[in-house]
Chain A
Amino acid sequence: MKPKRQKGNFHQTITPLLFLLPNMVIFVLFIIVPAFQGLRMSFMRWGIFTDPKFVGIANFKELLGDSVFWVTFRNTLVYSVSVVLLLVVVSLILALLLKRNSLMGEKIFRAVFYIPSLLSMIAVGIAWRFVLGDEMGVLNHVVRSFGGDGINWLTDGRLAMTSVILVSGWALSGYYMVIFISGLQAIPTDLYEAARIDGSTPWKTFWLVTLPLLKSTVLVVVVLSTIASFKAYELIFAMTKGGPGYATKFIVQQVYQVAFMEDRMGYASAMSIVLMVVIGVFTAMQFVFSGKDQGYE
Chain B
Amino acid sequence: MSKKSSYIVLVQYVVIVAFALGTLFPVMWVALSSFKPQSELFRIPMTLFPAHWTVENYRNALGQGDFLVYFSNTVFVAVVATGITVLINIMSGYALAKYIFPGRNVIFFIMIATLMIPLQVIMIAIFLQLKRFGMLNSLWGIIIPPSATPTGIFLARQYMVNLPDSMIESARLDGAKEITIFARIIIPLSKPIIATIAIFSFMWRWNDYLWPLIVITDNRKQTVQQALANFVGQLQINWSNLLAMTTISIIPVIFVFLAFQRFFMVGITAGSVKG
- The residues of A with any CB-CB pair to B shorter than 8 Å are 11-13, 15-17, 19-20, 22-24, 26-27, 29-35, 37-38, 41, 93-94, 97-98, 102-103, 109, 111-116, 118-123, 125-131, 136, 138, 141, 145, 170, 174-175, 178-179, 182, 224, 227, 230-231, 233-234, 237-238, 241, 252, 255-256, 259-260, 265, 268-269, 272-273, 275-276, 279-280, 283
Contacts and interface: CB of A to CB of B under 8 A. Distances in A.
B233 A31 contact: no
Given A16-B104, A118-B203, A22 B148 contact: yes
A273 B124 CA distance: 11
30 contacts: A15-B95, A17-B101, A22-B88, A22-B92, A23-B111, A26-B145, A26-B147, A29-B129, A31-B122, A32-B110, A32-B114, A37-B128, A97-B16, A103-B12, A103-B13, A115-B254, A118-B257, A120-B206, A120-B225, A120-B228, A122-B225, A123-B225, A130-B26, A131-B29, A141-B45, A175-B272, A237-B233, A256-B123, A269-B125, A279-B118
Interface in B195-252: 203, 206-210, 225, 228-229, 232-233, 239, 242-243, 246, 249-250
Interface in B122-160: 122-129, 133, 144-148, 153
A178 B265 contact: yes
| Interface size of B as a range | 35 or more
Nearest to B110: A27
Contacts of A98: 16
B23 A113 contact: yes
Contacts of B148: 22-23, 26-27, 30
Interface string B103-123: 010010011001011111111
Contact of B129 (A34, A123, A265): A34
B167 to A, nearest CB: 17
Nearest to A40: B125
Given A41-B125, A174-B23, 14 more contacts: A15-B95, A16-B95, A20-B91, A23-B89, A112-B24, A120-B207, A130-B29, A178-B264, A179-B268, A179-B269, A238-B228, A241-B233, A272-B121, A272-B124
B102 interface: yes
B61 interface: no
Contacts of B182: 19
Given A13-B101, A130-B30, A131-B29, A31 B209 contact: no
Interface of B: 9, 12-13, 15-16, 19-20, 22-27, 29-30, 33, 42, 44-46, 88-89, 91-92, 94-96, 99-102, 104, 107, 110-111, 114, 116-129, 133, 144-148, 153, 178-179, 182, 203, 206-210, 225, 228-229, 232-233, 239, 242-243, 246, 249-250, 253-254, 257, 261, 264-265, 268-269, 271-272
Given A138-B29, A265-B124, A170 B46 contact: no
A233 to B, nearest CB: 7
A19 B257 contact: no
A11 B12 CA distance: 60
Given A26-B145, A115-B23, A182-B265, A37 B16 contact: no
Contacts of A109: 16, 20
A94 B22 CA distance: 13
Contacts of A128: 26
Contact of A126 (B12, B123, B208, B246): B246
Contacts of A33: 125, 129
A20 B203 contact: no
Nearest to B84: A22
Which A-B residue pairs are the 7 nearest by beta carbons? A120-B207, A34-B125, A16-B95, A16-B99, A19-B95, A26-B148, A30-B145
Contacts of B94: 19
A231 B120 contact: yes
Given A31-B117, A94-B19, A126 B228 contact: yes
A234 B102 contact: no
B124 A182 contact: no
Contacts of A35: 117, 122, 125
Contact of B229 (A102, A230, A238): A238
Contacts of B179: 15
Nearest to B114: A31
Contacts of A113: 19-20, 23
A126 B22 contact: no
Contact of B101 (A16, A275, A283): A16
B124 A275 contact: no
Contacts of B153: 23
Contacts of B101: 12-13, 16-17
A227 B147 CA distance: 20
Contact of A125 (B33, B96, B232): B232
B95 A141 contact: no
Contact of A19 (B13, B33, B92, B126): B92
B8 to A, nearest CB: 8
Nearest to B181: A15
Nearest to B233: A241
A52 B132 CA distance: 15
